[in-house]
Chains A and B, each alone.
Chain A
């Protein structure tokens, strides 16, 4: 179950991230400070190259900031070793990727089961939770199918189930509808919203999708590596 804490799930304080491109320093995030509240549907928007994905990587503990403080699920991630961060991600963070990123060798069921395997959940419990999640995303009859036998929408449903099956503190979704047609994208947004409410978890997106923005509880606008706007409540 998600934690009942009321503290923000993510807290960034004056965070910088600079990449090296050969000899050149490329600043992607330039001193961003914000918090993301729990059990909300939060969206990070901004034009291409604005730093959305970098920000998402920092929030998801996939990357470390050049400077500043990143606290995720009440943990200062800078203090964690690489193994500890891996374990932290395994427990606390669910990911949904733009290109679905399912493991091709696994069936839909096995893809959903895999995060539980990493957490050492018993086989019985894995089966129960994975089956429940497969049903929740409407793919009860597709559990045996491999990713290459599923449509784009079905793959993303599997990805959503995979992200939620371990009951993480929050789910990060990097442009989850970008590779879907508008109809499928809408159904995926509905599903995520429903799941977020059902599991009382936190969703954080980066997106260009206006449909998705319309469902947001919190909207953060990034431009040139800076937070330029923060709106609470759905945008249109």
Chain B
């Protein structure tokens, strides 16, 4: 305790230098914490988006995740309603899950044959009410929305939603009252087509017109597109979809291709009159920390019932999640390293100056009987104390900055999200980050003082006493 008292007294013998050093440590600590709080917020935001879209876990037929996406119809889960019941009724899973719902992936051609345009699409069929419940998941209070409410109803198989890019390409902007839609270019010349050969779109239009009810185009309030896909058996099938809403997707390729629809419609398209399967079962949990418990239980359940199913988590389903976290983690490591080095040199310099100024005093105390390690310890304690005080003030400063930012009303659009969300710094509860930052700066400061402290300890007493 006496050492600490002496160190504190010594620190303020050169107030300006100590304040400068403390400022460096304080700003360093605050910078690490504020950026750490920002990254934590990013991580939670991206995770929230991912979990809202894909749930925490998805169950597939074994092999689908690696091989089956090209032909989702061929990889459907047999008797998926039985599997759903199994999961929903499991006592453990029932307590940790919020939503357990089937999805059907599909791909094909979307056409607006009134406009003579078509476009490949990929889409997903879902249970609208389940999707809306998934959209409410916000474990971390980020207010981040990876999804908007679809506006679809479980019993209405005629409607769906699309990406904005898709309807733009299909020439439906004006009917959907969308802004920023450029006029479609003039149709290309058909010089190279034989006169007798019918255009492919005309063939598709014929197919569609055979399948579409006569009244559809005339009576529907929402504009409709036609979706052509191969059934599980390989035959072409077409359904009509009224666009109940459009939803900006997080990246362009998805936005230009996305179609979401009621799972019943997707199943009609893929399975026709055959057994309606599902390509996946989405499991959303109350808390992310239960993910491994839920995964283990699901796998155990499938083993018990002889089901050949695999379970993938949201980081596998959203590869960009780990990339984003990794990117921010790298930036954080870089910034932390730079701050650590700056603090190291600042404290080392301050301690070195202190040793030079107090050489005579070192000689006096050594003459009075202080051992070499006593001198070393003294300067180490002074460096550590600088680190402790600076880091403590830095933690407080970071809290103040976080409070100011969190109440400033600033917004931003996070990666993988379609709409701006409030900018937050997640400091509350980031105790591990605070503790590690504090300890890190404390240790760096102590290490920075080590070399000058050792130099002070090695000074011959008579030389130190002669120092003026």
Contacts and interface: CB of A to CB of B under 8 A. Distances in A.
Interface of A: 57, 60, 62-63, 82-83, 86-91, 95, 97, 99, 101, 103-106, 114-115, 117-119, 162
B23 interface: no
B367 interface: yes
A82 B9 CA distance: 28
Interface in B376-418: none
Contacts of A83: 371-372
B367 A60 contact: yes
Given A103-B361, A117-B2, A89 B372 contact: no
Given A97-B364, A118-B368, A119-B369, 20 more contacts: A62-B461, A62-B465, A63-B460, A82-B371, A86-B369, A86-B370, A86-B372, A89-B369, A95-B367, A95-B368, A97-B465, A101-B360, A103-B364, A103-B365, A105-B6, A105-B13, A106-B9, A115-B369, A118-B370, A162-B368
Nearest to A62: B461
Contacts of A91: 369
B373 to A, nearest CB: 8
29 contacts: A57-B462, A62-B367, A62-B461, A62-B462, A62-B465, A63-B462, A82-B371, A82-B372, A83-B371, A83-B372, A86-B366, A86-B369, A86-B374, A87-B369, A88-B369, A89-B368, A90-B369, A90-B370, A99-B360, A101-B465, A103-B361, A103-B365, A104-B361, A105-B6, A105-B9, A105-B10, A106-B6, A114-B368, A118-B368
Nearest to B369: A90
Nearest to A114: B368
B4 to A, nearest CB: 13
A104 B360 CA distance: 11
Contacts of A63: 460-462
A93 B10 CA distance: 26
Nearest to A103: B361
Nearest to A113: B2
A91 B10 CA distance: 25
Contacts, number: 61
A86 B13 CA distance: 27
Contacts of B374: 86
Nearest to A56: B462
A89 B367 contact: yes
Contacts of B365: 103
Nearest to B8: A105
A104 B13 CA distance: 8
A117 B365 CA distance: 12
Nearest to B7: A105
A99 B367 CA distance: 14
Contacts of B465: 62, 97, 101
A231 B241 CA distance: 122
Nearest to B367: A95
Contacts of B360: 99, 101
A99 B10 CA distance: 20
A95 B462 CA distance: 13
Contacts of B10: 105
Interface string B436-468: 000000000000000000000000111001000
A119 B371 CA distance: 12
Nearest to A100: B364
Contacts of A117: 2
A219 B19 CA distance: 52
Contacts of A99: 360
B467 to A, nearest CB: 11
Nearest to B461: A62
Contacts of B462: 57, 62-63
Contacts of B366: 62, 86
Contacts of A62: 366-367, 461-462, 465
Nearest to A88: B369
A125 B94 CA distance: 70
Nearest to A58: B462
Interface in B335-371: 360-361, 363-371
A106 B9 CA distance: 8
Contact of B368 (A104, A106, A115): A115
A62 B13 CA distance: 27
What are the 9 A-B residue pairs with the smallest beta carbon separation, nearest first?
A90-B369, A105-B9, A101-B364, A86-B371, A89-B369, A62-B461, A95-B367, A63-B462, A118-B369
